[in-house]
Amino acid sequence: MAKVLGIGNALVDILIRLENEDLLKELNLVKGSMQLVDKDFKNLAFSKTQHLSKVQASGGSAANTIHGLASLGVETAYLGKIGHDQLGEFFMNDLKNNHIKPLLKYSETETGVASTFISPDSERTFGTYLGAAVEVGSDDLETSLFAGYKFFHIEGYLVFNQALVEAALKMAKSKNMTISLDLASFNVVDANRDFLVEMTKKYVDVVFANEEEAKSFTGKDPEKALKEISTMCNIAVVKIGKNGSLIKQGNDTYSVGAISAKVIDTTGAGDLYAAGFIYGLSKGLSLAQCGHVGALLAGKVIEVIGAKIPDCDWDIIKKGVKIIESSDN
């Protein structure tokens, strides 16, 4: 099976279940967005949520996708930067324990933390302290790191370092890798639209976007956004929540429904969808089948807190994947 390399912000997620949305207003966070915050904000958020239920997990969009792929048995590796601290050690061990090859760099800065605020309606809002994660630079990359991998997955959150993104995409393309980009968050797209469009047209094969990101990227609603994005790359995917996803390649368009699920927390839904979709591509499945595998993983992760599907669920998921692989659509 083809191997997958991912690059992203190496973050530890602190998942916080909110009793109401008052704290979001108090912290000046826009519900549903990802906002970059400083160390003082990180410490303030921690102090104001000490009484609330929290879960710690390794995270970052691309890392979540790579974890999903590894759990499906795909050989994977991950590029990122962490600090010489407890959270960095936690992140490193989590990769190793999940059979992901760590290609991590170290910094004297603290490991990045994504404070993930989960509203009562399951919507998640991120206050992200990038810390060491943002220090990954183009000088940390070398073409040899890309050798032997067929797929390269990159998260849009890295776009705050445009030189890094372009260098990584150029190296991946030089190795004839299939490149997938997850657009990340609507406010990230808003701030970097021109650059993202340029990179997509030059290097990207597969674009993943949710409804809001697609609108920020094109100014259009899902169906029209899908059509426009598909003119920039080989495969366009627009995820439309409970209504599933839309996929377009050339003149072919597919609509894939979401699976029935009890929504607890939507954190990681898009990341795990991407994992399922890339898995399908690596196995030579049809685009509709790729979408169905993505929908299966997304539907399972929203039934738990955080972006990691419990080990006990993967056997059931793998059986579902086999059924999809044997189907005709």
In this model, does residue 123 exceed pLDDT 70? yes
Highest mean pLDDT range out of 13-17, 210-214, 258-262? 210-214
**Collapsing DSSP states into helix, strand and coil, what is residue 33?**
coil
Q: How confident is the model at residue 253 (pLDDT cuts 50, 70, 90)?
A: very high
**Residue 137 within a domain:** yes
Q: Which CATH number goes with the domain that contains 249?
A: 3.40.1190.20
Of 40-44, 97-101, 107-111, 216-220, the least confident: 40-44
pLDDT average, residue stretch 177-196: 94
Structure-model confidence comparison of residues 36 and 88, the more confident one: 88
Question: Which segments of 29-109 does DSSP mark as H helices, in order?
Answer: 39-48, 61-71, 86-97
The pLDDT value given to residue 227: 98
Enumerate residues 6+ apart whose C-beta is below 8 A from 194.
none
**Residue 316 within a domain:** yes
Q: How far is CA 53 from the centre of its chain?
A: 24
Output the six-digit token pair for 250: 């050339």
In the chain, the DSSP E strands lie at 4-7, 11-17, 34-36, 54-59, 76-83, 100-107, 112-118, 124-129, 151-155, 178-182, 206-210, 235-239, 245-249, 252-256
pLDDT average, residue stretch 18-32: 91
**Residue 23 within a domain:** no
**Residue 238 within a domain:** yes
Neighbours of 312 (CB within 10 A): 7
Q: What are residue 193's phi and psi, to 5 degrees?
A: -55, -50
Enumerate residues 6+ apart whose C-beta is below 8 A from 47.
none
pLDDT-above-70 percentage for the chain: 99
The pLDDT value given to residue 66: 98
Q: How confident is the model at residue 36 (pLDDT cuts 50, 70, 90)?
A: confident
Output the six-digit token pair for 263: 């929504």
Question: Which segments of 28-161 does DSSP mark as H helices, in order?
Answer: 39-48, 61-71, 86-97
Range of the domain at 152: 4-9+60-109+131-326
Average pLDDT, the chain: 94
**Residue 200 within a domain:** yes
**Residue 45 within a domain:** no
Number of domains in the chain: 1
Please say whether the beta carbons of 13 and 45 come within 8 A. no
Please say whether the beta carbons of 69 and 76 come within 8 A. yes
pLDDT average, residue stretch 267-289: 96
In this model, does residue 281 exceed pLDDT 90? yes
pLDDT average, residue stretch 53-71: 92
Best CA proximity match to 90, nearest among 176, 189, 10: 10
Rounded CA separation 163/109 (Å): 21
**Collapsing DSSP states into helix, strand and coil, what is residue 257?**
coil
Q: Pairing relation of β-strands 11-17 and 34-36?
A: unpaired
**Residue 89 within a domain:** yes
pLDDT average, residue stretch 82-110: 96
In this model, does residue 160 exceed pLDDT 90? no
Output the six-digit token pair for 181: 């980009």
The pLDDT value given to residue 5: 98
pLDDT average, residue stretch 296-303: 95
**Residue 116 within a domain:** no
Enumerate residues 6+ apart whose C-beta is below 8 A from 30.
24, 125, 187
pLDDT average, residue stretch 240-261: 95
Which pLDDT tens digit goes with each residue over 193-238? Answer: 999 999 999 999 999 999 999 999 999 999 999 999 999 999 999 9
Which pLDDT tens digit goes with each residue over 48-59? Answer: 998 998 888 888
The pLDDT value given to residue 124: 83
Rounded CA separation 66/63 (Å): 5
pTM: predicted TM-score of the whole model, two decimal places: 0.91
176 — alpha (psi -120 to 50), left (phi > 0) or beta? left
DSSP assigned state of 197 = H
Output the six-digit token pair for 259: 């699976």
Q: Is 212 exposed, middle or buried (0-12, 13-18, 19+ CB in 10 A)?
A: middle
As beta bridge partners, residue 106 has 82
pLDDT average, residue stretch 121-147: 92
Which pLDDT tens digit goes with each residue over 124-136? Answer: 898 989 999 999 9
The pLDDT value given to residue 197: 97
